[in-house]
Amino acid sequence: MGKLHKNAGVRVPGLREALGPELREFWGVRDTDPAQRVCAVVYLRLMEVLRSMVEPEPKLERLVHVAYNIEPVPLDRNLAARLENLLGRSARSFQRDLRPFRDELFVSLRTAKRPLAEPDIREAESRFAGGVRTVPGSPIESFHLDSAAVVRWFLDRLWCAPADAGHEPIVVDLGARGAWLCVFGDQGALEEYRGTVGCPWPLSRSGTGRELARTAHRAAAGLLVNPSSSRGTGAERAFSLPLSLLAELVRGFPN
């Protein structure tokens, strides 16, 4: 239990065996359950604990997702590397921030658990089946048709941005088209873009859309979301949040 967030987190090979017989029985994991279902059950039990906490901060929820590797997109298989990609603090500091959740997780083992509903398990299984939340099929059309919904979608989820050796996000100056910070839906998308285009980005950082919007605004830059690596597509065709819009958004953020 104490090591559930270590290494690859919930996505570690042999998770069922790692849980041990007592915890498997307590959480309702059967010996015949496939790996994907085991991940889903553990994810739901972790979310039960998180929801039981008194008004958990959004940052703690995101930290739990990253530490236990329960985002829909698999993150780095090393805990320290996952935490280092979060914005703002060191991996050691984030581990300290995780303690209240870990303590609550241990306390939760004192109370018998209700069986999980099958529809909830099936829905959670899709989280570990390679399903990835992506940008809307036509982001530019979506932005113009329902801009408020698309902006909310961007602000509320986790993104990856390129970073320099000092872990500061890298802003690209496109001359007359302005300065932009590129953000990607997951680490794999960032690495694919970096490899295809040949960008000299040594590191990457993760953060919510709100955090990266603040970062871009401070750098007097806009945001390009999941830019295409295909030549000729043009930055102007990417789903973008220009600096003028970021200024309005940031003014509305809580301090």
For 125-139, how does the pLDDT look when each residue is reduced to its tens digit (9 = 90+)?
887 875 333 333 333
Contact 239, 230 (CB under 8 A): no
pLDDT at 141 over 80: no
80 or 43, higher pLDDT = 43
As a whole number of angstroms, the distance between CA 31 and CA 16 comes to 8
pTM (2 decimals)?
0.54
In percent, how much of the chain has pLDDT > 70?
82
Superfamily covering domain 139-252: Uncharacterised protein PF11572, DUF3234 (3.40.1350.90)
The predicted structure's pLDDT at residue 132:
34
Domain chopping of the chain, boundaries = 9-128, 139-252
The rounded mean pLDDT for the chain is 80
For 173-223, how does the pLDDT look when each residue is reduced to its tens digit (9 = 90+)?
887 778 899 998 888 888 888 888 888 899 998 888 889 999 999 999 999
28 pLDDT band, cuts 50/70/90, is very high
- DSSP secondary structure string for all residues of 163-188: E-TTSPBPEEE-GGG-EEEEEBSSHH
